[in-house]
Chain A
Amino acid sequence: MGILLKKKERELVVPGEEIIKSMDYLPGRNCFREGDSIYAKRLGFVSINGRVISVVPLSGVYIPKTGDMVIGEIKEVQPTGWIVDIKAPYDAYLPLAGIKEFIDTTKTDLSRVYDIGELIYARVASVSGTSSVHLSMHDPRCKKFKSGRIIRINPTKIPRVIGKMGSMINLIKTSTKTRISVGQNGMIWFEGENEELVAKAIKLIEKQSQQEGLTDKVSELLKAGSKGDKNEKD
């Protein structure tokens, strides 16, 4: 079986490169089959999970998926909903039914709920086949951002920012005492005592996402950063 495998696990592949020549395996995410072989569709690292071959991408834009939490900017207020820019190829629509409060459209102006330019944390409620994206605020995590900061990174790096079972994000949250909301679309909101340090940590993760032992590096940065802060105060 080892002979069939043209690429090792975690090896970098470019589009069109053969990963395995075997009918016993299945093409997973970012892979396709042609003849007997499975090829990479995108630039990324090979990942083998049982009999499924997939490629973890290194770059690319955000493609909305049902259930994702995203940060979006209100682009337009319409009579019965909002058009939201979620930094994806498709604009998202937040219908009136998607928000928690009841609003009488004859009496209230919708821009008083969310106005143009405001940022919200929303859940992707549905993505239809024709790629129209609907959002919803029916989730305890959903909110409107009134203060704090936002940075944008490549959406393919978001899984690293979150870490295994949220290990990375919890590390940052606890050691900097900030509140952080991560959008799957690459937008990250945070507010707290040491925002500068959080931004630095996130940028570090984005830059070195393909390297191992990232959690240690980040915790080192956070330790050094919080110490430096104390020295300044002294």
Chain B
Amino acid sequence: MKRIDGRKEDELRPIVMKAGVIEQADGSAFVKFGNTSAIAAVYGPRSLHPKHLQIPDKALLRTVYSMAPFSTTERVKPGPSRRSIEISKVTRYALEPAVFLEEFPKTGIEVYIDIIEADAGTRTAGINAASIALADAGIPMRDLVAAVAVGKINNNYIVDLCGKEEEQTLCDMPVAYMPRTKQITLLQMDGDITLDDATKLIKLAIKKCEEIYEIQKQALKKRWMG
């Protein structure tokens, strides 16, 4: 099957990843999947206020996902929305298992993800960027987190859906994965598919996450090796 943008079924969109794009942040990254771009900035670990949020034995990971007003064809109202609050939360859950939070009790690690261009797969682009930014900030981690969305269109399993495909797909399943520890840290799905389909899709997503993982590593190494 030929896809809308001429890709093969298991082909990712052209990927650009760059670490260290924001001078003032402790760590940052830019990630672009086709027409979806995300920028992540990490600050901390730093003192956390208000004080009641402090956790006595570990750091608090705070993630803020937001879409720029100009990121889609229709203007996005700035500020938190129901959708962005949910995505901030699942992003936090996707990243938390990778970070040694117990090393910095009572502090806060803040991750800001901004989507500057949206064409489906913004949460996965955000997770990819945030994971590079966390490593760039020198935060102790068990592994990097790679993420990709998979879906199904007329009996074809496809990866990294673009906006038009997302409208047609029978299901849309974002997956975040830690390739070294072989753990899935995010798994969401909407649509209607069988258990067999779901298993196949997860396997496909894992395979693609491993590819993305290599690009993430290269981005980090490039920043520091010049």
Contacts and interface: CB of A to CB of B under 8 A. Distances in A.
A163 interface: no
B46 interface: yes
B45 A14 contact: no
A15 B143 contact: yes
Interface residues of B, number: 32
Contacts of A57: 138
Interface stretch (B6-14, B32-40, B104-112): B104-112
19 contacts: A14-B216, A14-B220, A15-B139, A15-B143, A16-B142, A39-B180, A41-B100, A41-B142, A42-B135, A43-B136, A43-B138, A60-B26, A60-B139, A61-B26, A61-B44, A63-B104, A89-B45, A89-B106, A89-B107
Given A61-B44, A130-B56, 17 more contacts: A14-B216, A14-B220, A15-B141, A15-B142, A16-B98, A16-B180, A32-B142, A41-B140, A43-B135, A59-B26, A59-B27, A60-B26, A89-B106, A89-B107, A90-B106, A90-B107, A130-B105
B144 A42 contact: no
Contacts of B105: 130-131
B143 A59 contact: no
Contacts of A12: 221, 224-225
Interface string B119-147: 00000000000000001111111111000
Interface of B: 26-27, 44-47, 56, 98, 100, 104-107, 135-144, 178, 180-181, 216-217, 220-221, 224-225
A170 interface: no
Q: Which of A18, A90, A91, A156 is most buried by chain B, counting CB atoms within 10 A of its CB?
A: A90
The 5 A-B pairs of least Cβ separation, nearest first, read A60-B138, A16-B143, A15-B141, A59-B138, A89-B107
B27 A14 contact: no
Contact of B138 (A17, A34, A58, A130): A58
Contact of B141 (A42, A59, A90, A156): A42
Contacts of A14: 135, 144, 216-217, 220-221
Nearest to A131: B105
A219 interface: no
Contacts of B136: 43, 59
B140 A42 contact: yes
Given A16-B143, A43-B138, A58 B224 contact: yes
Nearest to B179: A16
A91 B178 CA distance: 34
B220 A43 contact: yes
A20 to B, nearest CB: 15
